[in-house]
Amino acid sequence: MSLLSFDDVSLDYSTQGAVLSGIGLSFGRGEFLTVIGRSGSGKTSLLNLAAGFLAPSRGRITLDGAPVTGPGRERAVVFQDDALFPWLTVRENVAFALRLSGRLRAERLDRAEALLAGVGLAGQGGKRIWQLSGGQRQRVGIARALAADPAFLLMDEPLGALDAMTRDRMQELLLRVWSDSGAGVLLITHSVEEALFLATRVLVLAPDPGRIVIDRAVYYGQRFLDGETSRALRAEPGFIALREELVDAIHAGEEANHA
């Protein structure tokens, strides 16, 4: 089934107070959660908890009811500047993630090629990392994350470094990867529009302490996969109104804090 749950989770890095407080959240395969919020609201901390890189100070994080005690193969993480190995080919970079799978080298390379095709990089496996564009590198990182056939893909600003056109294409690709892999996705972004377009659920975190103030079901990504165009969806009055509501929620209380 694969359900990742936060039960009243708080996190302190120091005695300075909680960075995250009272986080209650459950998400599973097939969901696409996007997380937005001001800088410092705790988005990356939330992802690091889900990944098992950090342990909660209070509360529990469980995977199918069992406590999460560290990173695991069922939760793959994609970072913005994914560290690919420059001395390996694109195909070898992806196959590297399969080295613990027990498969023979030839099988690993075949599987890597199939994963690369899945992210639109068919026939590029023999290239070196430095021969790729930023968007292509990011796709290699995603193919590598998918190699372990994870139940969850955890992504911290994966498209943040890309130019606007590449970013739009990558958003569409992410939706297809999500749909094809069946994984549950948790994606952090600074773009409210991106969050709204991709998600089946948008979470807004408010800071001091970081907490979930909005957890909203949305359907634009699914409608894109069902054949509607990204441009038409983003131009819908409902999309624009919700985008503005989310922007307002992100900035609520900001003036008061700076007064």
Ligand X SMILES: Nc1ncnc2c1ncn2[C@@H]1O[C@H](COP(=O)(O)OP(=O)(O)OP(=O)(O)O)[C@@H](O)[C@H]1O
Q: Between 37 and 56, whose beta carbon lies closer to ligand X?
A: 37
Q: Between 37 and 125, whose beta carbon lies closer to ligand X?
A: 37
Q: Between 41 and 124, whose beta carbon lies closer to ligand X?
A: 41
Q: Between 45 and 181, whose beta carbon lies closer to ligand X?
A: 45
Told to check if 37 binds ligand X by CB under 6 A, we report yes
Identify whether the C-beta of residue 31 lies closer than 8 Å to the C-beta of residue 200: yes
Told to check if 184 binds ligand X by CB under 6 A, we report no
Order across the sheet with 32-37: list the strands: 75-78, 152-156, 184-188, 32-37, 201-206, 211-217
Q: Binding residue for ligand X (CB under 6 A) from 2, 5, 44, 230?
A: 44
Told to check if 251 binds ligand X by CB under 6 A, we report no
Q: Binding residue for ligand X (CB under 6 A) from 10, 21, 34, 45?
A: 45
* Strand partners for 76: 153
Told to check if 257 binds ligand X by CB under 6 A, we report no
Q: Between 23 and 175, whose beta carbon lies closer to ligand X?
A: 23
Q: Between 98 and 162, whose beta carbon lies closer to ligand X?
A: 162
Can you tell me the distance from the alpha carbon of 204 to that of 36, in angstroms, rounded to the nearest whole number?
5
CA distances (Å), origin 223, targets 176, 182, 247 = 12, 16, 22
Told to check if 13 binds ligand X by CB under 6 A, we report yes
Q: What count of Cα atoms within 13 Å lies in the side-chain half-sphere of residue 228?
A: 14
Can you tell me the distance from the alpha carbon of 8 to that of 22, in angstroms, rounded to the nearest whole number?
4
Q: Residues touching ligand X: how many (CB under 6 A)?
A: 10
Window of 35-43, 166-174, 191-199, 225-233 that interacts with ligand X by CB under 6 A: 35-43
Window of 42-50, 120-128, 194-202, 223-231 that interacts with ligand X by CB under 6 A: 42-50
* Best CA proximity match to 138, nearest among 164, 178, 170: 170
Q: Please count the other Cβ atoms lying within 10 Å of the Cβ belonging to residue 39.
A: 7
Told to check if 249 binds ligand X by CB under 6 A, we report no
Identify whether the C-beta of residue 11 lies closer than 8 Å to the C-beta of residue 20: yes
* Best CA proximity match to 183, nearest among 235, 241, 107, 115: 115
| SS3 assignment, position 237 | helix
Let me know the angle formed at the C-alpha of 129 by 124 and 131, rounded to the nearest 5 degrees.
Answer: 70
Q: Binding residue for ligand X (CB under 6 A) from 41, 138, 189, 191?
A: 41
Q: Binding residue for ligand X (CB under 6 A) from 17, 24, 40, 126?
A: 40
Told to check if 39 binds ligand X by CB under 6 A, we report yes
Q: Please count the other Cβ atoms lying within 10 Å of the Cβ belonging to residue 102.
A: 8
Pick out residues in 145-174 that bind ligand X (CB under 6 A): none
* Interface contacts to ligand X, rule CB under 6 A: 13, 19, 37, 39-45
